[in-house]
């Protein structure tokens, strides 16, 4: 059975890594494969793999069909349905999942509905309660997210949630509640509990962590506290995890076993161990439902259920059987679970604990029972953390040794007790919740101090599959029993993970990566030993900007720890919004900009035409603005040309026709380039015919957002470039665009094509309008 469960998982993972989904009709062969696996032992293993593959094809096809028609994108639509998630709130806006059951346009014509969609409602104070039915006036679009090396795959996350359409609600008449939902709806209960907790506790301090422990909702946790938890490797504690599920089940088990015999007759009907097992299962189920049935809670609930069922049946299951069967059931419920890091971290942690703690001589010491678990988990998860996040929290062992017992035995029981009692006795319940918050206040300074250490987080470059597999072998050697010879070899197997071979270009060459930051601009240029960052993309909200979400993860994935020069072309939000978080996370040696007063940095200068320098055989020259220029705003953007002996790239920022004409008069002979980053994202105010002719590029790159509100790039501008035989690429359709520029060659890679999976959409030309 164990082998079959693992092979079933392998079949699912293989399909999830496919660039395209096999034909849906293959799923009809699933019953046949099950029959063959049961009747013919010789075919059992290949049939288990096929069953996994066919199961994910079957489930994926239903989700892929739930997508809005392209002709309805951007149109005013009327939808009706039910709120099916906890709304997250930030700066007066709310986001939630809405299950649509009716879709029509403003003329009243009905269309097939897209099922579950993710909606945003800006500048609203409406009370959105899960389970309620609403009618909304919305604009929708197909699921689309940034596609960058090292970045978060938003489209994969949406697909895992069963969502293929997103949109926002228009603040117009017609948005109204149609029907109140049932109070026994689980998300509605979670909502009431969360709102009650937030009214009692201050959401601006550690009180924001209590709702995460009770309901699993982490939307109220401030960004600064998330950074501390991430840097110390303790983020798993401040959400409902398998550890907390096991703790609650254990407490209920021992309490029930002690109380059950006191009823005398109850013990005659059902033995105390069996009654305690049933009570523990019900407690674990209730807590898992309160957590929204996330992957870690699914795994913990299934494992606990198997363990407790074995007690009810008076049978024993070996750990490998429990883990493999839990893996099978989790994937049966949600075959897309492997798309999340939580799936791999959760199962890997329990496998590592089982490997490192079983079949060993029990020294019965406090270290063995508690400290060793933290040690083996910290060591064992290192390869996965490097693969998924490109960083390893070095202080996690110390932090978890101190915080795990405290949170598990003090904070969580107080939080849960208070959450129950506030409905019976508001004073007592509120007092327990304040004690729970105070218990976090006591250890928070320790976490904060650990997070601020210079060595708290080890940042790693992109991990290759070879380095990852070597690290896995190294971990198993290090954690092997003491008597096994050659355990020290595990350290050698870990070396490729911590000391990767950098993918550097040769002298006289450079690599340009135009990042996908939505409607904005950020580009990274790498020579042999130097790095230049041109603009830092937009800031979308207080909690999300291109600097922290795109640029910093990309630089970490590249193994770049410092930027030699940052060129900030001008001060518009879509170019400068990500700068503060870039400066916080990455060392920047020098900044050139047209807006020095808007930036705080110790080494900052104005960008003036005529400034030249040379890095690793690559020539750089600033072409605009001139020192005597009277232009302002977009027309004062820094314009930079980067050249090898034969090929070049021209960065233009947001210059418009006035600046283009100035450059043509002053430096027309200098602007001829192989690659042009389109001025002002392809607006009608830029890309004059004379400028395009003078540059004469082979490629023009448009940094634009999918279905941006400005309609960039404009069709007239696209036509101008096409008529001159210039190849066009844009970040909305291609994701991040990487170009390796040599004298004799120009290699191009679209990251959306490179990382293509069947849930991604490669957008045809014209769809960005």
The tens digit of pLDDT for each residue in 275-324 reads 888 999 999 898 888 888 777 787 788 888 888 888 788 777 788 888 89
CA 733 – CA 320 distance, rounded (Å) = 45
Residue 766 has a pLDDT of: 43
Could you tell me which residues come within 8 angstroms of residue 671 by beta carbon, excluding any fewer than 6 positions away?
A: 623, 641, 650, 663, 664, 691, 694, 695
CA-closest candidate to residue 511, choices 463, 576, 560: 560
**Per-residue pLDDT reduced to its tens digit, 407-451:** 888 998 899 999 999 999 989 999 999 999 999 999 999 999 988
CA 200 – CA 70 distance, rounded (Å) = 46
Tallying the residues shown for the chain, one arrives at: 769
Residue 670: DSSP 8-state: G
CA 326 – CA 414 distance, rounded (Å) = 30
SS3 at position 251: helix
CA 253 – CA 279 distance, rounded (Å) = 7
- Give the ranges where 422-551 is alpha helix by DSSP (H): 426-452, 465-478, 489-498, 546
Task: List the structure tokens of 257.
Answer: 């076993």
Stated as kind and residue range, the H or E segment containing 117 is strand 116-121
Residue 502 has a pLDDT of: 83
The stretch 356-368 carries a mean pLDDT of 65
CA 515 – CA 150 distance, rounded (Å) = 11
Secondary structure, 3-state, 692-737 = HHHHCCCEEEECCCCCCCCCCCCHHHHHHHHHCCCEEEEHHHHCCE
Residue 374 has a pLDDT of: 81
What is the residue-averaged pLDDT of the chain? 89
Whether residue 369 has pLDDT greater than 80: no
Residue 233 has a pLDDT of: 85
**Per-residue pLDDT reduced to its tens digit, 63-95:** 998 889 889 998 999 999 999 999 988 777 899
**Per-residue pLDDT reduced to its tens digit, 701-746:** 999 999 998 999 999 999 999 999 999 999 999 999 999 999 988 9
Residue 384 has a pLDDT of: 92
Do residues 674 and 699 lie in contact, with contact meaning Cβ atoms separated by under 8 Å? yes
Task: List the structure tokens of 204.
Answer: 């601006």
Residue 317 has a pLDDT of: 78
Residue 173 has a pLDDT of: 73
Residue 409 has a pLDDT of: 85
CA 184 – CA 318 distance, rounded (Å) = 38
Percent of the chain residues past pLDDT 90, beyond the cut:
59
The number of angstroms, rounded, from the C-alpha of 334 to the middle of its chain's C-alpha atoms is 18
How crowded is residue 719: how many other Cβ atoms within 10 Å of its Cβ? 10
How crowded is residue 91: how many other Cβ atoms within 10 Å of its Cβ? 9
- Long-range Cβ pairs for the range 24-30 (8 Å, 24+): 24/57, 24/58, 24/61, 26/54, 26/57, 27/54, 27/55, 27/57, 27/58, 27/61, 29/54, 30/54, 30/55, 30/58
Question: Which strands, in side-by-side order, build the sheet including 604-606?
Answer: 604-606, 591-593, 565-568, 531-534, 523-526, 510-514, 737-741, 746-750
Single pTM value for the model: 0.90
Residue 767 has a pLDDT of: 41
Strand 93-105 and strand 116-121: pairing?
antiparallel
The stretch 183-195 carries a mean pLDDT of 88
pLDDT bucket at 368, cuts 50 / 70 / 90: low
* Radius of gyration from C-alpha coordinates of the chain: 29
Residue 82 has a pLDDT of: 96
pLDDT bucket at 219, cuts 50 / 70 / 90: confident
Do residues 691 and 667 lie in contact, with contact meaning Cβ atoms separated by under 8 Å? no
* Backbone phi and psi for residue 84, each to the nearest 5 degrees, phi listed first: -120, 20
Whether residue 394 has pLDDT greater than 70: yes
Residue 535 has a pLDDT of: 97
Q: Which of 188-202, 599-613, 670-684 has the lowest mean pLDDT?
A: 188-202
**Per-residue pLDDT reduced to its tens digit, 260-270:** 888 767 777 78
Q: How far apart are the first and last CA of the chain?
A: 53
Residue 139 has a pLDDT of: 94
CA 263 – CA 710 distance, rounded (Å) = 72
Residue 296 has a pLDDT of: 73
Residue 454: DSSP 8-state: T
Could you tell me which residues come within 8 angstroms of residue 292 by beta carbon, excluding any fewer than 6 positions away?
A: 86, 187, 190, 215, 216, 217
**Per-residue pLDDT reduced to its tens digit, 36-67:** 998 998 999 999 999 999 999 999 999 998 88
Residue 241 has a pLDDT of: 67
pLDDT bucket at 271, cuts 50 / 70 / 90: confident
* CA distances in angstroms from 321 to 45, 317, 511, 605, listed in the order given: 17, 6, 49, 64
Name, of 229-243, 340-354, 675-689, 748-762, the range with top average pLDDT: 675-689
Whether residue 536 has pLDDT greater than 80: yes
């Amino acid at each position: 059975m164990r082998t079959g469960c693992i092979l079933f998982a392998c079949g699912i993972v293989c399909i999830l890594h496919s660039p395209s989904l096999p034909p849906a009709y293959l799923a009809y062969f699933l019953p046949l494969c099950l029959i063959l696996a049961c009747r013919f032992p010789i075919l059992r293993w290949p049939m288990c793999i096929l069953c996994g593959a066919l199961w994910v094809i079957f489930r994926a096809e239903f989700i892929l069909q739930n997508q809005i028609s392209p002709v309805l994108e951007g149109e005013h639509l009327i939808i009706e349905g039910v709120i099916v998630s906890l709304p997250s709130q930030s700066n007066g806006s709310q986001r939630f999942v809405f299950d649509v059951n009716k879709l029509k346009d403003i003329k009243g014509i009905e269309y097939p509905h897209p099922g579950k969609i993710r909606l945003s409602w800006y500048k609203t104070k409406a009370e959105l309660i899960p389970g309620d039915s609403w009618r909304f006036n919305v604009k929708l679009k197909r699921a689309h997210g940034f596609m960058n090396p090292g970045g978060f795959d938003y489209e994969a996350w949406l697909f895992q949630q069963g969502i293929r359409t997103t949109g926002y609600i228009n603040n117009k008449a017609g948005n109204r509640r149609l029907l109140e939902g049932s109070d026994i709806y689980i998300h509605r209960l979670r909502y009431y509990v969360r709102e009650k907790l937030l009214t009692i506790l201050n959401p601006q301090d550690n009180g924001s962590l209590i709702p995460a422990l009770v309901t699993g909702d982490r939307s109220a946790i401030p960004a600064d506290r998330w950074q501390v938890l991430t840097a110390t490797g303790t983020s798993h504690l401040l959400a409902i995890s398998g550890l907390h599920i096991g703790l609650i089940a254990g407490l209920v088990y021992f309490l029930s076993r002690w109380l059950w015999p006191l009823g005398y007759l109850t013990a005659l009907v059902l033995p105390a161990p069996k009654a305690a097992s049933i009570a523990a299962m019900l407690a674990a189920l209730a807590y898992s439902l309160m957590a929204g049935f996330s992957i870690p809670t699914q795994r913990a609930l299934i494992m606990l259920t198997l363990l407790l069922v074995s007690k009810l049946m008076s049978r024993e299951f070996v750990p490998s059987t429990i883990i493999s069967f839990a893996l099978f059931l989790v994937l049966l419920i949600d075959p897309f679970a492997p798309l999340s890091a939580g799936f791999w971290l959760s199962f890997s942690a329990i496998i590592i604990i089982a490997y490192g703690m079983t079949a060993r001589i029990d020294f019965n010491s406090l270290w063995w029972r508690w400290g060793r678990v933290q040690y083996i988990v910290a060591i064992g998860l290192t390869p996965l953390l490097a693969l998924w996040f490109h960083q390893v929290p070095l202080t996690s062992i110390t932090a978890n040794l101190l915080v795990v017992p405290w949170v598990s035995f003090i904070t969580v029981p107080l939080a849960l007790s208070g959450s129950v009692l506030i409905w019976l006795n508001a004073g007592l319940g509120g007092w327990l919740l304040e004690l729970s918050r105070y218990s976090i206040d006591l250890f928070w300074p320790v976490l904060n101090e650990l997070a601020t250490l210079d060595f708290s987080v080890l940042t790693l470059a992109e991990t290759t599959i070879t380095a990852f597999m070597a690290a896995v072998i190294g971990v198993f050697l290090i954690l092997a029993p003491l008597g096994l010879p050659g355990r020290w070899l595990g350290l050698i197997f870990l070396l490729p993970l911590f000391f990767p071979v950098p993918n550097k270009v040769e002298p006289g060459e450079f690599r340009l990566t135009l990042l996908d930051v939505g409607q904005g601009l950020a580009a990274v240029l790498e020579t042999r030993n130097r790095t230049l960052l041109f603009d830092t993309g937009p800031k979308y909200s207080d909690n999300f900007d291109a600097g922290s979400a795109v640029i910093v993860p990309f630089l970490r994935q590249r193994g770049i720890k410092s930027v030699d020069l940052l060129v900030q072309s001008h001060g518009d939000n879509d170019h400068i919004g990500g700068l503060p978080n870039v400066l916080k996370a990455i060392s920047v040696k020098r900044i050139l900009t047209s807006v020095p007063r808007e930036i705080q940095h110790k080494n900052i200068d104005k960008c003036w035409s005529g400034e030249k320098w040379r890095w690793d055989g690559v020539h750089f020259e600033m072409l605009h603005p001139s020192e005597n220029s009277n232009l302002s705003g977009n027309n004062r953007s820094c314009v930079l040309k980067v050249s090898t002996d034969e090929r070049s790239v021209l960065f233009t920022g947001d210059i418009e026709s006035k600046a283009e004409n100035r450059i043509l008069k002053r430096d027309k002979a200098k602007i001829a380039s192989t690659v042009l980053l389109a001025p002002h994202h392809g607006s009608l105010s830029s890309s004059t015919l004379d400028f395009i002719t003078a540059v004469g590029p082979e490629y023009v790159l448009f940094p634009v957002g999918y279905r941006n509100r400005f309609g960039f790039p404009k069709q007239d501008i696209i036509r101008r470039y096409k008529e001159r035989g210039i190849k066009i690429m844009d970040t909305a359709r291609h994701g991040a665009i990487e170009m390796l520029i040599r004298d004799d060659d120009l290699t191009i890679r679209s990251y959306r094509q490179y990382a293509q999976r069947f849930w991604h959409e490669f957008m045809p030309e014209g769809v960005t309008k």
